[in-house]
Amino acid sequence: MKMNWATGLKTMLLALIIIFPPSAFTSAQRIAPKSLSPSLDGLRAKNIKVRTLEGKSVELNTLLGQSKPVVLNIWATWCGPCRKEIPQLVELAKEHSKDGLIVIGLTTEDHNKDLEKVKDVISELSIGYEVAFTPLSLYYFFNKGDYGITIPQTMIFHSDGTMVEKLVGYDRKALEKAVSRALLPSS
C-alpha cells in the first residue's frame, strides 16, 4: 500500500506531538492543586532528613515551622532557571517574613562535593533564607513515578498545610499569585 507524502507528513507530525507534547517546551508548568496530594503533614510524616550547610543532619520538620505558609524550592547551582527564580524567592522571603512565610531552598547536589559551589551561589545571590542539601527521596515524594529530575520545582503551602501550587520551571507571575494565596487566612 502506497502512502502519499502529505499523509506521511501528517503521520510523522502526529507522532512527534505524541512523543513531545507542546507543554514540554513551556518555561514553567503549573500543576493544578486538585492533582496534588502531598501536604505538609504528609511530608512531616516521612521524617526526611536534610543536611545543613554546616554538615549537620536535621529533620526537615525542624525547618518547616508550625501553622505557617511555606515555600519549598528544589534547585541546583548548575540550573539556569533556578538561578533566575532565586532572586524572586529572596525578595518574597524578605517581603513576607512579617506574615510568617518560610522559604527553604533544597539543593539536590552532593554536600561533600558541591558545598563550596552552593555557598558561592548563596553569596552571589544574597540568599537569606534557609538552604539545605536534600536527599532525592524528597524529590520523589513530590514526583511519584518520575524517573528523571526536573528543576526548579517550587511547592507552595498554605499555613493549614495544604499545597496551594506546585510549579515546575520558573514563572514569576505564577509564583507571586501562589504565595499570595498561601498567605490568605484559613477558611
Query: Is residue 17 assigned to a domain?
Result: no
Query: Is residue 126 assigned to a domain?
Result: yes
Cα angle vertex 100, ends 94, 105, to 5°? 60
Q: What is the pLDDT of residue 32?
A: 44
Number of structural domains the chain divides into? 1
Query: Is residue 149 assigned to a domain?
Result: yes
Query: Is residue 16 assigned to a domain?
Result: no
Query: Is residue 121 assigned to a domain?
Result: yes
Where is average pLDDT lowest: 36-50, 66-80, 166-180?
A: 36-50
pLDDT above 70: percentage of residues in the chain: 80
Query: Is residue 38 assigned to a domain?
Result: yes
Range of the domain at 165: 27-182
What is the CATH classification number for the domain harbouring 89? Answer: 3.40.30.10
Strand order in the sheet with 49-52: 28-31, 163-169, 153-157, 70-75, 102-107, 130-133, 49-52, 57-59
Query: Is residue 2 assigned to a domain?
Result: no
Residue 157 identity: F
Record the pTM.
0.78
Query: Is residue 5 assigned to a domain?
Result: no
Residue with cell 547551582: 77
